Amino acid sequence: SLSSPKEQTFKTEHTVLWFLNKSNLPILRKDREDFWEKLYPEIHELYNDKYENQLLRIFDFTAWIESKIRKEKLSDVLKRHTNAKEI
């Protein structure tokens, strides 16, 4: 185990590890979009947790996951996230 049971683990860590262990991502673009739409609410909730939000400010793992699912450049996803936060 990477952390002892007494140490707090971030929900973000669980989400990233779950994603990395997921071997059967959809192949078709539409299926990937559907998969992302189902996953998005859970991922978006991470921003509402003050501890998770601190971690996501260091590196936006959710943007990285989105870029992998949608097969987009991470820089494009990060720009979109930044623009959405400014609105």
Mind listing the pLDDT tens digit for each residue in 29-67?
Answer: 999 999 999 999 999 999 999 999 999 999 999 999 999
Cα separation of 64 and 47, whole Å? 15
Cα separation of 9 and 38, whole Å? 23
Query: Could you tell me the residue ranges of all domains in the chain?
Result: 28-86
Instruction: Give the burial string for 26-35 (b: 16+ CB within 10 Å, else e).
Output: eeeeeebeee
Tell me, what DSSP letter sits at residue 85?
H
User: Is the CB of residue 44 less than 8 Å from the CB of residue 15?
Assistant: no
Mind listing the pLDDT tens digit for each residue in 10-32?
Answer: 899 999 999 999 888 899 999 99
Cα separation of 31 and 28, whole Å? 5
